[in-house]
Amino acid sequence: MPLMVVGSVALDSVYTPFGETADALGGSAVYFSVAASLLSKVKVVGVIGGDYPTAELDRLAPRGIDWSGVERAEGESFRWKGKYSYDLQSRETLETRLGVFATFRPKLPPEWRATKYLFLGNIDPELQLAVLEQVQQPRLVVCDTMNYWIQGKRPELLKLLERVDILLVNDGEARELSGNWNIHKAGRWILDHGPKRVVIKQGEYGALLVEPDRTFYAPAFPLEEVFDPTGAGDAFAGGFMGYLARVDSVAPEQLRRAMIYGAAMGSFAVQGFGIRGFENVDYDTIQRRVKAFVDLTHVPSAEPLP
Ligand code: AMP
């Protein structure tokens, strides 16, 4: 089933205690599509400047990523610079340069309007809404955002939330958006503002799928080596949406399985700098990791105590 993403196509400069990158391929749409394309074909909507290394995007196209919705505009590409703490649990944004995204007006190719699965990746909520308005009858609309937009474009973000099925954010973003410190209360606040469900990611502590009447928890895969957490959230989204588009269902049990595919993709993302964590990942690697989650969480049904 067709899957489409709008988001940043960026050049990232990242500092972690284990190394650094400068102007590396990144952005929410890139991480999302690299992960999602392991499960479904993906169409990308975005914009790049004349300085973008398009050969690197072309190199990824054979994976089933259609970049033809990425406009090339005059000016600088989106750039983001971030620095991680020693435990990789928190990061500081050193710089965000919107470049060509500041004046971007997305226009979908007509045949893309029939997309059924739509991911509104982290980017200006006004652009997310502009894309949503061009899609005819999506079956599932999932949206991501971050502190930059929660602080800078709150009214626009709240307007968008009324029209999305699932909001996917990390715990800090859920707290900031809702004004609630408690993560479950924050989830409830978000459900009261439009989305039918909310996915709250908690880094190495896993992710919650909060629904009106129940909550599902997917742990993070236990890794002994983590190099660069950048893009883990977008890769999670790619696994989540890529799985749902592949099985073409939004049934509640499929959403729970999608959480595990999301967690698996997030774990590949952090194993290398930039998108390198995905270099040797194929269908079998994914299936093995998903099976490992079953072992990680399976509890034999409770026997009566002796
Ligand atoms: P994540 O680690 O999943 O939150 O995603 C990190 C990616 O988000 C990086 O590749 C950045 O280029 C991109 N990014 C950072 N800030 C923004 C922003 N304000 N809008 C859109 N994309 C951003």
pLDDT value at residue 87: 86
The whole-angstrom separation of Cα 3 and Cα 244 is 9
Distance CA 6, CA 274 (A): 19
182 three-class SS: coil
Task: Please calculate the CA angle 21-48-17 and round it to the nearest 5 degrees.
Answer: 15
The CB of 144 under 6 Å from ligand 1? The reply is no
pLDDT of residue 292: 95
How much distance in Å is there from the Cα of 233 to the middle of ligand 1? 9
Tell me the CA–centroid distance for residue 173 and ligand 1, in Å. Answer: 13
Element of type H or E holding 83: strand 78-84
Cβ of 47 closer than 6 Å to ligand 1, yes or no, is no
- Please give the structure tokens belonging to residue 7: 């988001």
CB of 216 within 8 A of CB of 272?
Answer: no
Q: What is the pLDDT of residue 30?
A: 97
Counting Cβ atoms within 10 Å, is residue 209 exposed (0-12), middle (13-18) or buried (19+)?
buried
Q: Is the CB of 46 under 6 A from ligand 1?
A: no
Q: Whose CA is nearest to atom 14 of ligand 1?
A: 27
81 close to ligand 1 (CB < 6 Angstrom) = no
Residue 77 Cβ contacting ligand 1 at under 6 Å: no
8 Å CB contact between 52 and 11: yes
Between the alpha carbon of residue 234 and those of residues 8, 10, 33, 111, 268, the distances in Å are: 11, 13, 9, 25, 12
Contact predicate 43/115, CB 8 Å: yes
The pairing of beta strand 140-144 with beta strand 117-120: parallel
Instruction: Please tell me if the CB atom of residue 146 comes closer than 6 angstroms to any atom of ligand 1.
Output: yes
Mutational test site, ligand 1, from 6, 9, 28, max ligand atoms within 8 Å of CB: 28
CB of residue 140 inside a 6 A radius of ligand 1: no
Q: What is the C-alpha to C-alpha distance for residues 187 and 185, in angstroms, rounded to an integer?
A: 5
* Ligand 1 contact, 180 CB (< 6 A): no
Domain 3-7+28-78+104-297 is in which class?
Answer: alpha beta
Task: Note the helical H segments in 37-165.
Answer: 54-60, 125-132, 147-152, 154-161
Using CB atoms within 10 Å of the CB of residue 192, give its burial: 0 to 12 exposed, 13 to 18 middle, 19+ buried: exposed
Ligand 1 pocket test: which of 146, 149, 270 has the largest number of ligand atoms within 8 Å of its C-beta?
146
Closest C-alpha residue for ligand 1 atom 12: 27
Determine the residue type at 242: G
27 pocket-lining for ligand 1 (C-beta < 6 Å): yes
pLDDT per position in the chain (306 positions), as tens?
789 999 999 999 999 998 899 999 999 999 999 999 999 999 999 999 999 999 999 999 999 999 999 999 999 999 999 999 988 888 899 999 999 999 999 999 999 999 999 999 999 999 999 999 999 999 999 999 999 999 999 999 999 999 999 999 999 999 999 999 999 999 999 999 999 999 999 999 999 999 999 999 999 999 999 999 999 999 999 999 999 999 999 999 999 999 999 999 999 999 999 999 999 999 999 999 999 998 998 888 777 888
CA distances, 210 to each of 130, 147, 199, 201 (Å): 27, 20, 6, 11
Please state the domain extents for the chain. Answer: 3-7+28-78+104-297
The residue nearest atom 11 of ligand 1, judged by CA position, is: 27
